[in-house]
Homo-oligomer: A and B are copies of this chain.
C-alpha cells in the first residue's frame, strides 16, 4: 500500500507541470535564495519534510489544494485538484451523487 511519504512524487509532478526549477519555487514562496535550492531538493527527495505553512505556500504557488501533497495515487491526486476548483454548492451536489452511487453500486 501507499505506506511512504507521498510528498516527493506529488511535489515533483506539480512543480514540473508549472515549469519552474526547485530553487525558483522556493524563492517564490519566500525562502532565502541561498538555501532555497537545498531545502526544496530535500523535500523533493523525501530527505526532510516541510512544515504545513511551507506546504500551503507551495500549494498556492502551484495551484493545487494542500491535501494534494498527501494523495497516494494519481487518480485521487487529480480528483482532489478538480474538487478544489468547485464551489461549495457543486461539492455538496457531488457528495449526494457519490452517496447515492454507494447505495446502488450498479
Chain A residues close to B by CB (< 8 Å): 2-3, 5-7, 49, 51-52, 55-56, 65-73, 75-76, 78-80, 82-86, 88, 91-92, 94-95, 98-99, 102
Contacts and interface: CB of A to CB of B under 8 A. Distances in A.
Contacts of A68: 67
A82 B95 contact: yes
A67 B78 contact: no
A5 B84 CA distance: 17
A79 B95 contact: yes
6 contacts: A3-B56, A7-B52, A65-B70, A67-B76, A73-B88, A76-B91
B67 A80 contact: yes
A82 B89 CA distance: 17
Contact of A85 (B75, B95, B102): B102
Given A6-B66, A67-B67, A69-B70, A95 B80 contact: no
A83 B91 contact: no
B79 A98 contact: yes
B65 A94 contact: no
